[in-house]
A and B are shown apart, each in its own frame.
Chain A
Amino acid sequence: MTLTQFKQAVEYLGGAEDELDWMPQLSNWWFWGIVWTALCTLIYIFSGQNSKFIYIDF
């Protein structure tokens, strides 16, 4: 991914642009597999923030 493509993606996600030229096709299964993994990983990592940590030496 080039810096320009990244900028376009951020603008698209933020709503500044209506279209994304280089949007991967839905048939690009490996790309979407990795996107879903990244989302699941982010949810996994940050889903503990409601836990009350008194002890933290795990």
Chain B
Amino acid sequence: LSSNSLTLSTFLATLATLLACLAALNFAVVHLTRNSIPKQVLARAATSKADSVIAIGNSLIAAGFDEDAFDRGFEIARPAGSVNLGLGASAPTEHLLILRSALRNNARRNTIVYGFYDLQLTEPEIFHTSDLFGNHAMLYYTEPAFGARFFHQSFHDRVEFALMRHIPMIVERGAIWAKVERFRRKLAELGMGKELNNRFGRVGDFSLLEAPVASRFASDCASANTRSLNSAVNEMIGESSEHGIKMVFVEMPMHPYHVRTFYGLPEWKEYTAALRMNLASKNAEFIDASRWIASEQDFADHLHLSPRGAREFSERLGNQLREP
């Protein structure tokens, strides 16, 4: 019995082995996620010195802004072209951090294109710890103290944020979970019909990001009308103005279903009219491109443009911005 009893020294040795293995696992996660999507976008932002136009936003910009087509429309040639810094599943705070990274390298920018949809510009950002995975992980490692000023967290979540940002395994947990989720989806498809996917995920899932019914969207517009611009959006306008760069807010092309169901509502028209005035008062330009793409074939799902739709939209946007 004595040979099989647990002593303090063996317990501590076991614990030390566990901690050493977890430290090794952390190094493995750092290595595996060294080229995660947010890190790639931040690297592009930091190194794209020649590009005079930067496009920022969430996945609607990532999928919908075609650099070559825009440059054609804008009549600029490489190396002084445009750069797409869109990041899927992101919010204005991440866009602000990407913008700051792009402005920090002293490149000569003259225009910032910020693509948005629905109520994105006026929605307050509230993050729980459970929300901060995937591309939101960049909030843990990109100017965390500065970024935290632009989103709300409970005291409990703030403490967790401060502790968790030092542990790569936890910061990048979404990248590991996504691999498991992809594997689970493959298993779920065994013997079943194949789900329709695009570069961001399952096509059907993106309709979950729309309001369930028009009446709900109308009441959301009415309450958004009482709010001012999101603080990260305000900061982006301020920073672009400081650098003497024109900021253009583009209401991104939406699927004909979305336009038909939501954008014909009087509440939406009222909301965008107020938004347009609000942006104009801050010397920011507003372009309504929501109806530019009329064919369903030019959309990859209810929110994102297909490559062909992106080419058409980007060239037209370039054209419009070129004209004085």
Contact = CB atoms under 8 A, between A and B. Distances in A.
Interface stretch (A2-10, A13-21, A31-39): A31-39
B176 A36 contact: no
Interface residues of B, number: 46
B180 A48 contact: yes
B201 A51 contact: no
B174 A48 contact: yes
Given A57-B201, A58-B174, A45 B18 contact: no
B133 A48 contact: yes
Interface string B141-177: 0000000000000000000000000000100011111
B177 to A, nearest CB: 3
Contacts of A48: 133, 173-174, 176-177, 180-181
Given A56-B200, A56-B201, A57-B201, A51 B133 contact: yes
A51 B177 contact: yes
Nearest to A26: B6
A31 to B, nearest CB: 9
15 contacts: A25-B3, A29-B10, A29-B14, A33-B14, A33-B16, A34-B17, A37-B25, A48-B174, A48-B181, A49-B181, A51-B133, A55-B200, A57-B199, A58-B36, A58-B37
Interface of A: 25-27, 29-30, 32-34, 36-37, 40-41, 44-49, 51, 53-58
Interface of B: 3-7, 10-11, 13-18, 20-22, 25, 36-37, 59, 88-89, 130, 133-135, 137, 169, 173-178, 180-182, 184, 199-202, 205-206, 208-209
